[in-house]
Amino acid sequence: ILAGMIEKNAKKGGIPMICIKNGTLHTADQKNTFIADILIDGGKICKRSVRISLRKAPSDRCHRSSVYPGFVEAHCHIGLDGYGIGYEGHDYNELNDPVTPQVQAIDGINPFDPCMKMAAKAGLPASQPVQAAPNSIGGTFAAIKPVGTRVDNMIVKFPVAMNALSVKPETLHQKQGISSRMTNAAKIREALNKAKVYKAKIELPVMSLQAFRLTDQKSEALIPVLNHEIPLKAHAHQAN
């Protein structure tokens, strides 16, 4: 309701004060619902009360329809799958390597993907587009707003986490040596152990010139995980 009212009035030249009347409110911090009015000024909620009376503010009577806060999509491919384009727009799967902690979702997100506007109208103020879904380790992803024309200005938080433990990487990475969940887990252990050794080397008080030349993008990307600065997000569909 609100998205439609704001879009309609914005075309007339600005976002006016809007009052949503008599809605059944579902808040994020209270178990029980309640009936109340919501006052929005400049596109932001400024007041919530049982009864709000304003002469100049246009209103929309909800007739006790449910009013929810914005939903956050914690795992999606918005902006990465190229809506309606096909393979040329698919940027959420890196198929050349099953272990790609060095890749970043923000490099593949298209702000002009029609799904962005669809998500905003559906009441999705933030989402986390995840890339490299079929990989043992897929890389870092971000939380973004679905509104904007430049990814830098849409970021809510980056990096959010390291995507790992795919649904079943053996379906797409058999040529790279993965044919079971056991190998998948072994690949993750191998990458983390290698990053642990790399981290110990670069933290030595004195480093040789040779050590500086051995920059490892994969291990560098996993250091925030080892330091507990970001979590390793497990994408699992069954117990094993």
What are the pLDDT digits (tens) for 209-233?
555 556 789 999 999 999 999 999 8
Q: What is the mean pLDDT of residues 4-25?
A: 66
By DSSP bridging, strand 72-76 and strand 126-129 are parallel
Least Cα distance to 43 among 98, 75, 6 occurs for: 6
Instruction: Supply the angle between the helices 181-202 and 217-226 in degrees, to the nearest 10.
Output: 90
Please tell me the pTM assigned to this model.
0.75
Say yes or no to pLDDT of 199 above 60. yes
The DSSP symbol for 104 reads: B
Q: Which of 85-89, 168-172, 197-201, 236-240 has the lowest mean pLDDT?
A: 168-172
